[in-house]
Amino acid sequence: MRPRRSRGVGFTLLEVLIALTIVAIGLGAAVRATTQVTSGAEDMKMRTLALWIAEDRLADHAARRSWPNPGVTQGAGAQASVPFVWRETVALASHPDLRSIEVTVAAAAQPGYVLARLTGVAVMPPRTP
């Protein structure tokens, strides 16, 4: 009598390849999601630092009680050792004792990509008699 050939209890090659494909797709999605989270955190960090530069520019006017002349001023600054460039636009307001100040900040490496924009108002310092 001839011994009966039994079918193996393991997986076929096709089943293994399908399972590996499903795992690869899942891992690819997980890596992409992780990359997006990391990129978003870096972008938020840069926007926060740029906002601090803009706030510093407006606070500087308030602290000096300066009366800025209308026009555009540009400069550079750094926060957390990250270089930024800023642009300050001073415009006349509807009231003669007010000036509108708009500050835009971009990373020094990408000066055309504005990370933060902040607008404030300068009030004419009191006149001394």
pLDDT digits (tens, 9 = 90+) for 62-108: 888 778 889 999 999 999 999 999 999 999 988 888 999 999 999 99
Are 19 and 40 in contact by the 8 Å Cβ rule? The answer is: no
Q: 34's torsion region: left (phi>0), alpha (psi -120 to 50) or beta?
A: alpha
Handedness of CA 53, 54, 55, 61 (dihedral sign): positive
- Does residue 2 have a pLDDT over 90? no
Residues ≥6 apart with Cβ < 8 Å to 108: 76, 83, 84, 85
Domain boundaries, the chain: 13-123
- State the pTM of this model: 0.71
Choice between 101 and 39, residue whose per-residue pLDDT is larger: 101
Q: Of the ranges 19-23, 38-42, 46-50, which one carries the lowest mean pLDDT score?
A: 38-42
CATH class label, 13-123: alpha beta
